[in-house]
Amino acid sequence: MAKKFSQEHEWIELEDGIATIGITDYAQQSLGDIVYVELPEIGKKLTKDGDAAVVESVKAASDVYAPLDGEVVEINEDLDVNPALVNEAPETDGWFFRMSLTDESQLDELMDEAAYKDFVEGL
C-alpha cells in the first residue's frame, strides 16, 4: 500500500494488516535536530487523533498522534539509542511504532502523497 498522511504530519504504511507510523520529512525539518523520542508501550491501545508518542528536538517537544485506532505491536527501539534517525530517514528507518488496526476504513480519511504535498504547500 502507498503511504497515507495525516494533517498532523504523520505517515502510515499498511502491510499485512500492520500499520507502520512515523513523522514526515516536513515535520522533522520543522522540529530541527531530534534529541529524544518517547514511544508508546507495546500493547497500548491508541485512539485516532489521541497522543501516541513524544518527540523532543533542540527547539521544542511535540506530540505525535495516532492517525488511526489500534494497538501498538512493535516500537522502533533504534530510536532509543539514535533519535537522530528521525532526522536522517524520517519516512523509512526513523519510523516510530507499528500497530494493528481496529478499523482499516479509517485509512480512507487520510491523504495520499499528492494531497499531502498540496496540504504542506498551503501552510
Which domains can be identified in the chain, with CATH numbers?
Answer: 4-121 (2.40.50.100)
For residue 86, the one-letter residue type is V
Q: What is the pLDDT along the chain (123 residues), one digit of tens a residue?
A: 789 999 999 999 999 989 999 999 999 999 999 999 999 999 999 999 999 999 999 999 999 999 999 999 999 999 999 999 999 999 999 999 999 999 999 999 999 999 999 999 999
Map grid coordinates 500500500 to a residue: 1
Sort strands 4-5 and 10-15 into parallel, antiparallel or unpaired.
Answer: antiparallel
Bridge partner residues of 56 (DSSP): 36, 61
Map grid coordinates 508508546 to a residue: 40
What's the CA gap between 106 and 117, in Å, rounded? 20
pTM over the 0.85 mark? yes
